[in-house]
């Protein structure tokens, strides 16, 4: 099998992820489902030859020595791949995230207008949340690209592997890879506050130290967009507060609540009658009431407060899913399956 040609065909078929392993056909994830690209199995030799051609000598030697490698590679002028490579039984396996080289325009991803207000903030924390493969990186870069094209700001991104190359626009874009540049997320954020940074993008919220440094950066005047693997503001805030145990009289949680601007959570749901998926978004704005609930650790009450607050720009995930169903963008089965409260969603759909 010619792996390079297969990857290009898979990209044209809008595969989000590709999996390669010796003795198995190339597998594609399309519209959320994994399926074989063909009946032809990949040989260990073909996979190793493809990797040796694709990677730099230094990257391939690192893979050979460590048995693991995360990297991002551009292929022709069309798409970019985020590679996660490992060694197994003398051969290699690869999980590949497919990304277009061009950042999608913000008006094409379906982001609610209220979420776009976060671009105008002069500082604070905005969390971009969702499960793996939900499009968090694409949403974050659409926001960053819009800022770059319209504001003269210094934008700094910190990721395991750079997902998109960000144009400088009217200001300056600096992009770092935490492993490749010899530091972890917390150490990188600690240094970047001295880089005259206006806008930050943090590719993962991996531990308490990273969250504390992000809070400090926001207090210093940076506007930070932070990616979190969780669905729904309740899950996001609950996870973050686990990093801030209430053992200091509530000071850490008060600092966090004070710099929080909001949470954007997203899912990609399949269309009912054609290929592709529709994005649905939850938007939580950090009002004084919500900041108080966060300081008190009453996360379960935030969702109830958000309901009916459309005039403030808020939208719960289940409201977004119900709206997509009423617009015939998703089926009733999909709405029920992806709702955070499935029983209530079924009841609400019967009403309409």
| pLDDT > 70 in the chain, percent | 97
Check if the beta carbon of residue 259 is closer than 8 Å to that of residue 126.
no
Mean pLDDT of the chain: 92
Global pTM?
0.88
pLDDT of the residue at 249: 80
Per-residue confidence band for 179, with pLDDT thresholds at 50, 70 and 90: low
Per-residue confidence band for 227, with pLDDT thresholds at 50, 70 and 90: very high
pLDDT of the residue at 89: 78
State pLDDT tens for residues 276-310.
999 999 999 999 999 999 999 999 999 999 998 99
pLDDT of the residue at 228: 97
pLDDT of the residue at 182: 54
183: its two tokens: 């530091």
pLDDT of the residue at 114: 96
pLDDT higher than 90, residue 193 = no
Q: How confident is the model over 125-153, as a mean pLDDT?
A: 95
| pLDDT > 90 in the chain, percent | 71
211: its two tokens: 């969250």
Cα–Cα distance for residue pair 12/128, rounded to 1 Å: 27
Q: How confident is the model over 53-68, as a mean pLDDT?
A: 90
Q: Domains in the chain, start-ordered, CATH in brackets?
A: 3-100 (3.30.450.90), 106-315 (3.40.50.300)
Q: How confident is the model over 116-139, as a mean pLDDT?
A: 95
In the chain, which ranges are E strands? 17-20, 25-30, 33-41, 68-75, 79-88, 91-100, 124-129, 154-159, 172-177, 199-202, 223-228, 260-270, 277-285
Q: How confident is the model over 159-167, as a mean pLDDT?
A: 88
pLDDT of the residue at 266: 98
pLDDT higher than 90, residue 161 = no
pLDDT of the residue at 121: 95
Q: Token match 């551009």: residue?
A: 74
DSSP notation for 11-37: HHTT-SEEEE-TTSEEEEEETTEEEEE
Task: Identify which of 32, 45, 38 has the alpha carbon closest to the alpha carbon of residue 10.
Answer: 38
């Amino acid at each position: 099998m010619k792996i390079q040609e297969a990857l290009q065909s898979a990209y044209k078929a809008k595969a989000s992820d590709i999996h390669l392993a010796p003795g198995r056909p190339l597998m594609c994830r399309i519209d959320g489902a994994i399926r074989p690209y063909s009946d032809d199995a990949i040989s260990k030799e073909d996979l190793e030859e493809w990797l040796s051609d694709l990677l730099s000598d230094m990257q391939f030697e690192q893979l050979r020595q460590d048995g693991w490698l995360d990297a991002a590679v551009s292929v022709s002028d069309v798409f970019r791949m985020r590679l996660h490579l490992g060694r197994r039984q003398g051969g290699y396996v690869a999980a590949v995230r497919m990304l277009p080289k061009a950042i999608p325009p913000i008006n094409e991803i379906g982001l609610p207008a209220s979420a776009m207000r976060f671009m105008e903030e002069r500082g604070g924390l905005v969390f971009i949340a969702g499960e793996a493969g939900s499009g968090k990186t694409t949403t974050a870069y659409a926001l960053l690209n819009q800022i770059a094209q319209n504001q003269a700001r210094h934008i700094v991104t910190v990721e395991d592997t750079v997902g998109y190359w960000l144009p400088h626009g009217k200001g300056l874009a600096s992009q770092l890879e935490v492993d490749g540049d010899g530091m972890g997320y917390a150490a990188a954020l600690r240094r970047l506050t001295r880089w005259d940074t206006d806008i930050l993008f943090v590719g993962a919220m991996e531990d308490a130290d990273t969250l504390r440094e992000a809070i400090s950066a926001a207090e210093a005047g940076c506007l930070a967009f932070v990616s979190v693997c969780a669905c729904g503001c309740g899950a996001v805030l609950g996870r973050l507060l686990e990093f801030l145990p209430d053992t200091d009289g509530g000071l850490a949680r008060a600092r966090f609540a004070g710099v929080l601007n909001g949470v954007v959570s997203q899912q990609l749901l399949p269309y009912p009658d054609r290929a592709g998926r529709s994005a649905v978004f939850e938007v939580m704005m950090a009002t004084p009431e919500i900041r108080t609930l966060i300081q008190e650790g009453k996360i379960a009450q935030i969702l109830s407060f958000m309901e009916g607050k459309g005039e403030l720009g808020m939208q719960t995930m289940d409201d977004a899913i119900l709206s997509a169903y009423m617009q015939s963008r998703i089926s009733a089965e999909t709405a029920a399956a992806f709702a955070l409260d499935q029983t209530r969603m079924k009841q609400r759909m019967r009403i309409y």
